[in-house]
Amino acid sequence: MPAGRSRGTFRLSLTIVTIVIILAGAALLSTLFYTFWQRLNHQVEGVLQEQFNQQQLMLARKIADNVESYFDFLENALLGYAGLFQTTPPDERTIDASLEERFARHQRFGLLQITRYTSEGVGVQSFSTSPNLPPAGSLALPADYLKWGQTPEHRGRLFLSQTFDYPGPPWKGRRVMRFITPLYWGKTPKFAGVLEFLIDPFFICEKVTADVRSGKTGYAWIIDQNLIMLAHYEKDFVGHEAMQIRLSRNPQIVFRGLNELHDRLLAGQEGVTEYDSGWHRQKLGPMPKLAAYTPIRFNKGLITGVTEVEDPAHNLWGVCVVAPVAEVYGSVTQVLHQELFLVGLFFIVVLGASGALIGAALFWNKSLTRQVELKTEELLESQERLLRSERFAAVGEAAAYVSHEIKNPLMVIGGMANQVERRLAEDPAAQEKLRIIQNEVKRLESFLGELRDFLRPAQPSKQEIDLNQVIRDVKALMQEAIQEKGISLEDRLDPNLPPVEADPNQLKQVLLNLVKNALEATEDQGTILVSSGAKDAQVWFSVQDTGKGMSEDVQEKIFHPFYTTKDKGTGLGLAVINKIVTDHHGAITVDSVAGSGSTFTVRLPEKGANAA
């Protein structure tokens, strides 16, 4: 290697090493800073999550306290009604007016209906917010509740049922709660019946959650012991089973962590967690949420030891306050990203300045190196063309001499074989051998013709032609041979193809040879597709087959003279095609995969384009 080139290579290597070191250092610093920033970000998120969840838990406890306060009020109201009956006979007319007046005040607190039952459990008096109240006599207290009221030990006590779907009019199918107390009258207290409150749980839950907001858009929801939604921001959720209504809204969401949250609530647990939702208010899509939850119990409150709860292990509600994770972290994450952007921008400016200095230093070196490389490539290409010309010249001289020496004897052999065949009409075996001799002579004469075309090709007689018409002519010539083999010959021609300056006969020869090669390579029921088009001031046509294809090694040699993959091929067909295309200032390429067919593409300059 020359000394100058060695020095240039050394300088280039040194420069590359320097750039690599700078980039590696920058990448290392960036990685360390980004890792530290990520760790800090996670720590901040953890602190924010804990603080925010504790705030949400305080909200959830407040909602639970408000629900319990509602029931404290209703306990007092129901005990007040029972006290009224202790001093006033049940059949006293003044008691009707008193009950009606009290109900008018108490229905504003979620009271749907007040019913007084006799000692046998038959309704005798009822006040309701429904205009379709059935006659009091048609109402009957379920036996279990009547039995509880008849028990003397329950005098002065209350009984609260679970939420349930009311079975009869006027609240049939509506989710309610039953709150009862036994009635005693007289100086010697005597069991006189049962007083019943029908409570609207939806009203109470709506009141205690209406103005609750966690963060910007967070909200609260409440479920009962059967996972029925009693309150939710989405009003169409209320009254439905919590998981089923969510799945009906978005069945694609897994709702990670939500079942576990429900289980903890119904087990009477309190805490904070995170679960996946499918939306938030008007935003659709997967939505991780922070949640704080607490149970609502009905056996605690201001008046303790008075109210007995049906199925106390399960008669509880669950309240949960939720907010999107992205909303909680949004502000702080935005600040952290702004800091990261500023630091990154500073780092990029420093790195860019360093790169600019290095680039300025390398510019002249690169420019000179490129010029040297271009001159070297030109010299190597010129040397390769010279060597190829010398090889072709040597091959041409030898082939011309061989062709001259073989041609005349072949003509003599062929003529004599023809004469002898006519005289041996009665000897079929000898005739068959003579026909073989004649066929081989014809094959050699064909080979010599191809060799002559390759060694002394005719100069193209160019004229303006329509390439699509040449393709149609070749298709008509080959149609019979194609059909005999059971192959489909199709075309896909550009109707707006520009004209080209070319020799129509030579282009027809190129296309015929390509189609014949495709025919030989394609199995029965295969397809040959001839296409044309124009791009980048060039007109092109291609021949594509569904044959056996070629390996990369074969593709590299396919245009070399005397190279063939056929048993009886001469190896000159594609070499002649290549020579014709080159004489037209064009190029031929092949794209093939073994077992998947081949595509030969010829590109020629448009008429008027610079052919140099």
Per mean pLDDT, which of 22-36, 40-54, 431-445, 477-491 is the most reliable? 477-491
pLDDT reported for residue 450 = 62
- What does the longest C-alpha to C-alpha distance in the chain come to? 155
Mean pLDDT is lowest, of 133-142, 248-257, 466-475, 571-580, for: 571-580
Tokens standing for residue 274: 């995170």
pLDDT(385) > 70: no
Ordered alpha helix ranges (H), 459-550: 467-484, 504-521
Phi, psi dihedral angles at 491 (to 5 degrees): -135, 155
Count of Cβ atoms closer than 10 Å to residue 175 Cβ? 19
pLDDT reported for residue 198 = 93
E strands in 387-462: none
pLDDT(8) > 60: no
Phi, psi dihedral angles at 110 (to 5 degrees): 90, 15
Mean pLDDT is lowest, of 6-15, 35-44, 91-100, 320-329, for: 6-15
Phi, psi dihedral angles at 158 (to 5 degrees): -125, 155
Phi, psi dihedral angles at 141 (to 5 degrees): -80, 130
Whole-angstrom distance, CA of residue 500 vs CA of residue 510: 15
Count of Cβ atoms closer than 10 Å to residue 530 Cβ? 23
pLDDT digits (tens, 9 = 90+) for 208-228: 998 888 888 889 999 999 999
514 close to 498: Cβ distance less than 8 angstroms = no
Whole-angstrom distance, CA of residue 554 vs CA of residue 565: 8
Whole-angstrom distance, CA of residue 74 vs CA of residue 176: 14
Whole-angstrom distance, CA of residue 157 vs CA of residue 163: 20
Eight-class DSSP state of 535:
E
pLDDT digits (tens, 9 = 90+) for 532-566: 999 888 899 999 998 888 888 877 777 777 667 66
Taken as a whole, the chain contains a residue count of 612
Tokens standing for residue 575: 């070499």
Whole-angstrom distance, CA of residue 117 vs CA of residue 126: 9
pLDDT reported for residue 480 = 84
* Nearest alpha carbon to residue 85 among 116, 107, 113, 112: 116
List the 527-535 sheet strands across, edge first. Answer: 488-492, 527-535, 538-545, 598-605, 587-592
pLDDT(334) > 70: no
How, if at all, do strands 527-535 and 488-492 pair?
parallel
Query: How far is CA 14 from each of CA 17, 18, 168, 246, rounded to the nearest angstrom?
Result: 5, 6, 93, 65
How, if at all, do strands 190-199 and 488-492 pair?
unpaired
Whole-angstrom distance, CA of residue 40 vs CA of residue 48: 12
300 φ/ψ sector (left φ>0, alpha ψ -120 to 50, else beta): beta
pLDDT digits (tens, 9 = 90+) for 273-319: 988 887 777 777 788 888 999 999 877 654 557 888 888 878 889 99
* Residue 425 CA to its chain's centroid (Å): 80
SS3 state at 451: helix
pLDDT digits (tens, 9 = 90+) for 160-190: 999 999 998 889 999 999 999 998 877 777 8
SS3 state at 113: strand
Residue 70, C-beta contacts closer than 8 angstroms, at least 6 positions apart: 109, 110, 204, 207, 208
Tokens standing for residue 263: 């289980």
Angle at 253 between CA 249 and CA 256, to 5 degrees: 125
| Cis geometry, peptide bond prior to residue 170 (ω within 30 degrees of 0) | yes
Rounded to the nearest 10 degrees, what angle do helices 428-455 and 573-583 cross at?
A: 30
Tokens standing for residue 89: 């006979």
pLDDT reported for residue 397 = 64
Can you give the C-alpha Rg of the chain in angstroms? 50
Mean pLDDT is lowest, of 250-254, 342-346, 395-399, 458-462, for: 395-399
The DSSP-derived string for 37-79 is: HHHHHHHHHHHHHHHHHHHHHHHHHHHHHHHHHHHHHHHHHHH
pLDDT(409) > 90: no
Whole-angstrom distance, CA of residue 569 vs CA of residue 560: 13
pLDDT reported for residue 462 = 84
Tokens standing for residue 17: 């090493």
* Nearest alpha carbon to residue 328 among 52, 561, 1, 31: 52
Question: Per residue in 466-488, is it b (16+ CB within 10 Å) or e — as a string?
Answer: ebbebbeebbeebeeebeeeebe
Say whether pTM exceeds 0.85.
Answer: no
Residue 456, C-beta contacts closer than 8 angstroms, at least 6 positions apart: none
Whole-angstrom distance, CA of residue 24 vs CA of residue 18: 10
64 close to 227: Cβ distance less than 8 angstroms = no
586 close to 603: Cβ distance less than 8 angstroms = yes
Higher pLDDT, 511 or 85: 511
Whole-angstrom distance, CA of residue 588 vs CA of residue 567: 24
Question: Per residue in 283-303, is it b (16+ CB within 10 Å) or e — as a string?
Answer: eeeebebbbbbbbbbbbebee
Tokens standing for residue 232: 């939710």
Angle at 174 between CA 227 and CA 203, to 5 degrees: 75
List % helix, strand, coil for the chain (3-state, nearest 5). 55, 20, 25
Strand partners, 290: 274, 323
